[in-house]
Structure 1
Amino acid sequence: MYILGISAYYHDSAAALIRNGVVVAAAQEERFTRRKQDAAFPGSAVRFCLDAVQGNSVDYVVFYDKPLLKFERLLETYLSFAPKGFASFRAGLPVWAKEKLFLRSLLTKELHTLTGVRFADEQILFSEHHLSHAASAFYPSPFDDAAVLTMDGVGEWATTSVSIGHGRELKIVRDIPFPHSLGLLYSAFTSYAGFRVNSGEYKLMGLAPYGVPRFASTIREHLVDVKPDGSFRLNQRYFNYCTGLSMTNQRFHDLFGRPPRLPEAALDDFHADVAASIQEVTEDITLRMTRALAKETGQKNICLAGGVALNCVANGKIAADGAFENVWIQPAAGDAGGSLGAALAAYHLHVKAERQVQRPDGMSAGSLGPNYSPAEIEAALKAAGARYKVTSDEALFEETARALAEGEVVGWFQGRMEFGPRALGFRSILGDPRRPDMQRKLNLKIKFRESFRPFAPSVLAEEAHAWFDTPAPDSPYMLTVSGVSERHRTMTSLHAETHHKLEHQHLIRSTIPAVTHTDFSSRVQTVHAEQNPRYHRLLKAFHQITDCPMLINTSFNVRNEPIVCTPRDAFACFMATDMDRLVIGNFVLDKTEQDSALAVNYASSFEMD
């Protein structure tokens, strides 16, 4: 049985395909269209997924939320605040009246145009938003039983929900309704700090260690009332997202004593302190929730999903806290992953098919996107005018590892594209973490982004505990933060505490300075030979040359560009940046050998993320 899941029309449109409960394909639309967070119907992603059907028919198509319930929430929100907010309501109403209220017919039309197949009404299903998130976390997890915590901005009504999974059964047992949202609270501060909502939250999290949480008590006193079990309510007097087109209002700005930072304006200690404060409050709320859930449910396992589950610092605190013995987080935790969860929910809850638990999990190391054959790669490179050589595996890993050890920055394009926002060694830019200048070089000359933003290490799984104090036994999806082990630190904790500001961001803190944040933290990815053999082999070759079992791993893109999907995308990004080498499969490209006329400054065409 084939089931296609779709998320669309809000942000991060995506499609996912399962066969008899096993995930076989998943991709975000933005990777194909090259439009960041593309919200349109995911035609290209659907087409890619359907290629895996191989002549069979799709039994069901499942949308990831229920638009009528969402429209009900919009109506009730307007009535609660009316007449305030009428302008924004009036602006959004035509879209609902023309399309979103008639989503079944719209989906049927889009699918018919794409495939030539007209699906019957009973083949088009709708899942609830938070159920889709919960299903995306529980069903691919390695657990027979688990509590599931979903936290995001908002679905139809729920912003935070608790579910219990057992075998094929999954049931939401309670939730916190809109407008009280931890995701929207964090996004309000993202906007206030001058970053873009739904993408800049990563920046706020990365900025937090440079600050002091001196506003945490202000947030708790005025903005959010938190109970011992982690449940909370937001004071809507300080927010504008219910009725307006902005996240915060003048009362919010007055509370902190400054207007919002303009995008791309200078950052200072105030912004770092604001980031540190909301990060501390977020961690406190999530820890209260998980501790209360562990006591209440008696479960030993917890699964996390929803956009807040991409806060890897909070995730690291949950794992280290020990309230649950085991933590598993959906790597595509945001709305894109809702497409996968919708399909899985339909299979287990609508079809009532039994579940087969997969280990280490059901996400195939995230490699669920398109792959390209050697012939396809060569054709794309020839069409682009690239100059390349083809090398054997034996030479490839040794030569690439040696180039990295000599300071080269390498674009690494192998196998199937990752599903989710993190590069996991399939579409990555790699560098030597031992080099003090590498973090700055990657930020400013490769990614074209702010110099303070940290980079993550990919480390051989078998060597991780020798280098990091890992709260989780494994982190294959780069979703938890760990501390660099004391033995590898070159700065004392006391010295670090007094030299953690933005002005100190380039001080050397460890023997792997390019992946050591100001608080000695690292967003670690553990790499297993069984899950990602080619990337593991490269790391092993680098380890043999340098005695360092890790590389910097950042996503293969520039600012606000989606991660590259095709060999053509990879070559364009390679030529537009200061990358030294590009490795696509067994095809190796040296920058010095390329036609300089092919270099295009396309970074300027992308807005700040």
Structure 2
Amino acid sequence: MKILGISAYYHDSAVAIINNGVVLCAAQEERFSRIKNDASFPELAIKYCLHETGFEIEDIDIIAFYDKPFLKFERLLETYYAFAPKGLKSFTKAMPLWLKEKLFIKQFINKKIKKLSASKSRNIPVTFPEHHLSHAASAFYTSPFKKCAYITVDGVGEWATTSYGIACGEKGIQVLGELHFPNSLGLLYSSFTYFLGFKVNSGEYKMMGLAPYGNPDSKNVNQFISIIKQHLVDIKQDGSIKLNMSYFEYPVGLRMVNPKTWEKLFGLKKRLPEEKLEQIHADLAYAAQKVTEEILVKLIQFVKIETNQANLCFSGGVALNCVANSVLYNQKIFNDIYIQPAAGDSGGALGAALATAYIGSRHLFEGLKEPFNPYLGPSYSNMEIEKVLHKHNCKYQYFESIDEVTKTTAKYIADKKVVGWFRGKTEFGPRALGNRSILADPTDADMQYTLNMKIKFREGFRPFAPVVCEEDYKDYFEESKKSLYMLFTSKVKKSLQKELPENFEAMSLEDKRKVVKSDLPAITHIDFSARVQVVTKTMNPVLWQLIQCYKKHTGIGVLINTSFNVKDEPIVNSPEDAYRCFMKSGMDILVMENYIIEK
């Protein structure tokens, strides 16, 4: 059975196609439209997935949409009614789109689909798994487990903001409990994101990166944690929460919180997006991160007792918080925790299709024997790449063998060059995993600043992730969860760490950033952590080979791996995207399949 999964209309619209339970392709609309976090109907991604699989629209048996629009509309109406007369402006803005498209999504999808058909196609049946079911299915049916506990934590689906239960290959996904809107851990975290001057639904990872700059022993941090617990959120022993809604505006407003109310509460002005970050902002981010971790630990302790399962699948936007994920893993409450690379709303397209394929069908899920492959998007031939290079009258080197490409690229990186690396299929999810990446030398103490300011054009405090071959992990990082998808953090090995100066906590954020913290300074965050991607020879053999070539040159088996994009743009998708990004940034080298371009 061929199923087309769709997520759309909130953020990170995406599409996936599966056939008889096997994932064939998946892609986010933003990669084609070039609109960051594009929420529109994913028409371009549908076209790609059909082309990739060779299917016509007529071949699709079922379309699966990642939530239930009528339930979501019910929540919207009930919320506006409960908070009336507040929210009139937000209500009048939301209603036209709901009444035009969202409420009649079945008809709207088939109308859009028919435009993609060469012939007069039939109406294709559309299923609507609940939002949290789509999230849970996206994790469980790409996991190595036959049976496990699951939790989903995000902003909000229809009504649920947190859910948990048992996922089983034979019986499907059993929901045991839910927490409902407006009480939401995801929206609590996003409220702090907003107050600290970052964009909601895309800036949460910036706040996560800022949090380690907070001083855990400072008066500010202790006071902020106390204020959060006393005034904003009541944390129950089972990990459920109750928010004090007098401090939040997101149920019916066009912003997360009233800045004046929060300014009075925290004694701190709301930061504007381009304002300088100070220590007090880092302290607040740290406090919010620690409260989030406390809630999640209580939640998985409760879920362990309730389900009595050995392993856990974690999904939803909150599962992209790799710092919290590592705290959960290191608690050793479950034997293992699995998170799929597109844990947020883009993965809902994949989960909707998988839920429709497996639940109530003859397909039996027994856990994947090999790790889930995240390389599910477009790839481009040498001929297509050469067309782009000729169009721009670009000089290049062409290499017949991939061995020559990796050897040459490794030497460039060893010579402190910054490389745009473009090959194979694009990654599904928000993180570049070595096919649409910027690669650089992790031993250069100035590289983190260079990448942030001259290449990515973003905040200087932002950390960079390392990529390491599986065999070499233990030489550079303390034992922790080894993540193929960059979803957990590890501490840099103690033997590689440098001693911090005595006055470190008194330094400014910028001065703290400049302190060399390890023998791999460009990938070592302020707390000696790193968001490590582990590469295996089977999952990404060319990247694995490149790292080994670099190791031969330098004796170091680690590279910086950051996404191939600049600030406020999606990760590059096509050769044209890659060339444009290369030319307008400070990158030195562009490698596209067998072609190497030197700036």
CA contact (8 A) 1:469 1:485 kept: yes
1:281 maps to: 291
2:468 maps to: 459
1:368-402 per-position Cα deviation (integer Å, ceiling 9, x unaligned):
00011111111122123221111122221111111
1:436 maps to: 445
Gaps of 5+ in 1: 592-609
CA contact (8 A) 1:224 1:232 kept: yes
2:203 maps to: 200
2:44 maps to: 44
1:371 counterpart letter in structure 2: S
1:20 counterpart letter in structure 2: N
CA contact (8 A) 1:148 1:162 kept: yes
| Counterpart-to-counterpart distance in 2, 1:76 and 1:412 | 49
1:477-492 mapped onto 2 (5 Å cutoff): 477-491=485-499
| Counterpart-to-counterpart distance in 1, 2:162 and 2:137 | 14
1:70 maps to: 72
| Counterpart-to-counterpart distance in 2, 1:53 and 1:548 | 40
1:294 counterpart letter in structure 2: K
Query: 1:158 offset after TM fit, Å?
Result: 0.4
CA contact (8 A) 2:145 2:366 kept: no
1:415 corresponds to 2:424: yes
1:248-259 mapped onto 2 (5 Å cutoff): 248-249=257-258, 250-259=260-269
Query: 1:491 offset after TM fit, Å?
Result: 1.6
- Compared with structure 1, are the counterparts of its residues 498 and 254 closer, same or farther at alpha carbon in structure 2 (3 Å cutoff)? closer
- Compared with structure 1, are the counterparts of its residues 117 and 83 closer, same or farther at alpha carbon in structure 2 (3 Å cutoff)? farther
1:165 maps to: 167
1:501-550 per-position Cα deviation (integer Å, ceiling 9, x unaligned):
44311100100000001100100000100000000000011111111111
2:328 counterpart letter in structure 1: I
**In the alignment, which of 313, 318, 336 is matched to residue 323 of structure 2?**
313
| Counterpart-to-counterpart distance in 2, 1:264 and 1:569 | 27
1:92-144 per-position Cα deviation (integer Å, ceiling 9, x unaligned):
11111121111111000000012246665562111110000000010000111
SS at match of 2:413: helix
1:462-477 mapped onto 2 (5 Å cutoff): 462-472=471-481, 474-477=482-485
SS at match of 1:505: helix
1:60 corresponds to 2:62: yes
CA contact (8 A) 1:65 1:127 kept: yes
1:561 counterpart letter in structure 2: E
Q: Greater CA deviation, 91-100 or 487-496?
A: 487-496
2:567 maps to: 559
2:336 counterpart letter in structure 1: N
- Compared with structure 1, are the counterparts of its residues 550 and 117 closer, same or farther at alpha carbon in structure 2 (3 Å cutoff)? farther
1:141-540 mapped onto 2 (5 Å cutoff): 141-168=143-170, 169-212=172-215, 213-214=221-222, 215-249=224-258, 250-361=260-371, 363-364=372-373, 366-391=374-399, 392-472=401-481, 474-491=482-499, 501-540=509-548
CA contact (8 A) 2:154 2:317 kept: yes
- Compared with structure 1, are the counterparts of its residues 68 and 493 closer, same or farther at alpha carbon in structure 2 (3 Å cutoff)? farther
Query: 1:449 offset after TM fit, Å?
Result: 0.3
| Counterpart-to-counterpart distance in 2, 1:401 and 1:547 | 12
SS at match of 2:356: helix
| Counterpart-to-counterpart distance in 1, 2:302 and 2:107 | 43
Q: Greater CA deviation, 14-23 or 113-122?
A: 113-122
| Counterpart-to-counterpart distance in 1, 2:412 and 2:595 | 15
- Compared with structure 1, are the counterparts of its residues 397 and 287 closer, same or farther at alpha carbon in structure 2 (3 Å cutoff)? same
| Counterpart-to-counterpart distance in 1, 2:498 and 2:463 | 18
- Compared with structure 1, are the counterparts of its residues 459 and 61 closer, same or farther at alpha carbon in structure 2 (3 Å cutoff)? same
1:93 counterpart letter in structure 2: M
Q: Greater CA deviation, 435-444 or 33-42?
A: 33-42
CA contact (8 A) 1:108 1:118 kept: no
Query: 1:271 offset after TM fit, Å?
Result: 0.6
CA contact (8 A) 2:279 2:508 kept: no
CA contact (8 A) 1:28 1:419 kept: yes
SS at match of 2:359: helix
Query: 1:409 offset after TM fit, Å?
Result: 0.1
CA contact (8 A) 1:500 1:519 kept: no
Query: 1:300 offset after TM fit, Å?
Result: 1.0
TM-score, reference length from structure 2: 0.96
- Compared with structure 1, are the counterparts of its residues 119 and 79 closer, same or farther at alpha carbon in structure 2 (3 Å cutoff)? farther
CA contact (8 A) 1:269 1:502 kept: no
CA contact (8 A) 2:63 2:124 kept: no
Query: 1:282 offset after TM fit, Å?
Result: 0.5
- Compared with structure 1, are the counterparts of its residues 423 and 51 closer, same or farther at alpha carbon in structure 2 (3 Å cutoff)? same
2:218 maps to: none
| Counterpart-to-counterpart distance in 1, 2:105 and 2:402 | 49
CA contact (8 A) 1:224 1:235 kept: yes
CA contact (8 A) 2:414 2:550 kept: yes
| Counterpart-to-counterpart distance in 2, 1:418 and 1:446 | 21
Say what the alpha-carbon RMSD is for the aligned residues.
1.5
1:183 counterpart letter in structure 2: G
CA contact (8 A) 2:341 2:487 kept: yes
Query: 1:354 offset after TM fit, Å?
Result: 1.9
1:117-175 per-position Cα deviation (integer Å, ceiling 9, x unaligned):
66655621111100000000100001111111111000000001103111141122211
1:513 counterpart letter in structure 2: P
Query: 1:85 offset after TM fit, Å?
Result: 1.2
1:582 corresponds to 2:564: no
- Compared with structure 1, are the counterparts of its residues 352 and 89 closer, same or farther at alpha carbon in structure 2 (3 Å cutoff)? farther
1:192-213 per-position Cα deviation (integer Å, ceiling 9, x unaligned):
0000000110110000011133
1:409 counterpart letter in structure 2: V
Query: 1:470 offset after TM fit, Å?
Result: 3.5
SS at match of 1:149: strand
| Counterpart-to-counterpart distance in 2, 1:38 and 1:244 | 21
Query: 1:405 offset after TM fit, Å?
Result: 0.7
Query: 1:315 offset after TM fit, Å?
Result: 0.4
1:102 maps to: 104
- Compared with structure 1, are the counterparts of its residues 217 and 420 closer, same or farther at alpha carbon in structure 2 (3 Å cutoff)? same
TM-score, reference length from structure 1: 0.94
| Counterpart-to-counterpart distance in 1, 2:296 and 2:508 | 25
1:78 counterpart letter in structure 2: Y
SS at match of 1:115: coil
2:19 maps to: 19
1:323-352 per-position Cα deviation (integer Å, ceiling 9, x unaligned):
000111011011100000000000011544
CA contact (8 A) 2:500 2:515 kept: no
CA contact (8 A) 1:108 1:119 kept: no
| Counterpart-to-counterpart distance in 2, 1:295 and 1:469 | 29
1:379 counterpart letter in structure 2: K
Gaps of 5+ in 2: 216-220
1:132 corresponds to 2:134: yes
| Counterpart-to-counterpart distance in 2, 1:118 and 1:342 | 26
**Percent identical across equivalent pairs?**
50
2:6 maps to: 6
Aligned length: 588
